[in-house]
């Protein structure tokens, strides 16, 4: 599949207009005072189904609905730990009345599993620590009707293009107020969000430095960019379940090599501190993965790598977390 371009992101924006939410950009004087920089926080936790994933899922499903080489689209198959699962079920089944089959790990967060099922997704479970999900997907696909398409969570042209609309909105909204970002921090799992965003940012704000943030336990993207090749790791054990990927995709890796300046890592403890801050000061419940970017900003400000007064974009990727787990995490002591 060919690499997506900014034109694909712009086309995705047109597809998503009136379907996906144009999410707000929030600021916090307390945060800016603490860090000595200006943070502009794009709140994808307020997106439909609670995460940016809806953008890519709907864009991809819409593509196949209108272009399946003359065949009728009979269904959609994917695998996901939660947010892409919900997004496909909502986009395909709930919104467009297309059957969806979702392969989810047995330890998927209960909230994400429940939402996926309520949106109409047919869930098939697998053990993420013992089974290879691509192999599971091949077996499941063989049981589904002809005309079923597989839409992966991140390594897909139209998924990447859809996620890129997050960056397009952020940059255009800020530019309308004469604000240019010096840095943009984005969480990294499989790379779909950061690669899509980078296509928009490099087109609209080419001097903005794009920095990815991963959990310490799962730094495959960091290793990949440093080594110049895709690095595979074991499923990382981290509270950031949305970033428990084992490797980047070939599409996301190539785009990231071109557009992403560096990848940094943060600890689970740092994620919990940001969950607390966003909850207490910004009045939002955000999942651990959604706090990666803000934790990254704080880390680089503390190390002196980000200059005082810089304009920093921060992507909150999602807010889907069980309240019981959320309460346990923010009450944790390390």
Q: Is 53 a catalytic residue?
A: yes
What are the beta bridge partners of residue 18? none
Residue 102 phi/psi, 5-degree rounding, is -120, 120
Q: What is the secondary structure of 121-136 as a DSSP string?
A: -EEEEE-TTTS-HHHH
Q: Is 81 a catalytic residue?
A: yes
Work out whether the CA dihedral 59, 197, 175, 295 comes out positive or negative. positive
Query: Cα(89)–Cα(76) distance, rounded to whole angstroms?
Result: 9
Work out whether the CA dihedral 47, 248, 272, 324 comes out positive or negative. positive
Q: Which residue has the tokens 């996901």?
A: 80
Active-site choice (81, 100, 205, 224): 81
What are the beta bridge partners of residue 42? 25, 315
Q: What is the secondary structure of 186-236 as a DSSP string?
A: EE-SSSHHHHHHHHHHHHH-TTPEEEEEEEGGG-HHHHHHHHTSPPP-PPP
Query: Cα(189)–Cα(277) distance, rounded to whole angstroms?
Result: 23
- Residue positions annotated with a catalytic role: 53, 81
């Amino acid at each position: 599949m060919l690499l997506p371009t900014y034109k694909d992101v712009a086309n995705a924006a047109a597809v998503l207009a009136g379907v996906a939410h144009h999410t707000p950009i929030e600021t916090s004087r307390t945060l800016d005072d603490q860090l000595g920089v200006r943070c502009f926080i794009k709140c994808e936790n307020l997106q439909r189904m609670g995460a940016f994933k809806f953008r890519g899922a709907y864009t991809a499903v819409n593509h196949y609905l209108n272009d399946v080489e003359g065949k009728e689209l009979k269904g959609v198959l994917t695998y996901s730990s939660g947010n892409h699962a919900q997004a496909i079920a909502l986009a395909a089944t709930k919104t467009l009345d297309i059957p969806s089959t979702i392969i989810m790990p047995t330890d998927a967060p209960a909230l994400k599993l429940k939402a996926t099922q309520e949106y109409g997704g047919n869930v098939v479970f697998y053990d993420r620590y013992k089974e290879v999900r691509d192999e599971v997907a091949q077996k499941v696909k063989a049981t589904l009707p002809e005309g079923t398409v597989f839409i992966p969570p991140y390594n897909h042209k139209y998924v990447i293009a859809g996620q890129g609309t997050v960056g397009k909105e952020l940059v255009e909204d800020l530019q309308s107020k004469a604000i240019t970002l010096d840095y943009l921090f984005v969480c990294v799992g499989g790379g779909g969000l950061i690669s899509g965003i980078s296509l928009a940012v490099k087109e609209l704000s080419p001097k903005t430095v794009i920095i990815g943030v991963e959990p310490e336990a799962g730094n495959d993207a960091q290793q990949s960019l440093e080594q110049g090749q895709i690095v595979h790791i074991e499923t990382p054990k981290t509270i950031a379940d949305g970033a428990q990927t084992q490797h980047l995709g070939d599409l996301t890796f190539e785009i990231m090599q071109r557009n992403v300046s560096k990848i940094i890592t943060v600890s689970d403890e740092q994620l919990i501190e940001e969950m607390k801050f966003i909850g207490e000061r910004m009045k939002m419940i955000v999942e651990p993965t959604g706090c990666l970017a803000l934790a990254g900003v704080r880390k680089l400000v503390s190390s002196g790598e980000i200059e005082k007064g810089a304009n920093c974009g921060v992507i909150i990727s999602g807010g889907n977390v069980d309240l019981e787990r959320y309460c346990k995490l923010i009450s944790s002591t390390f």
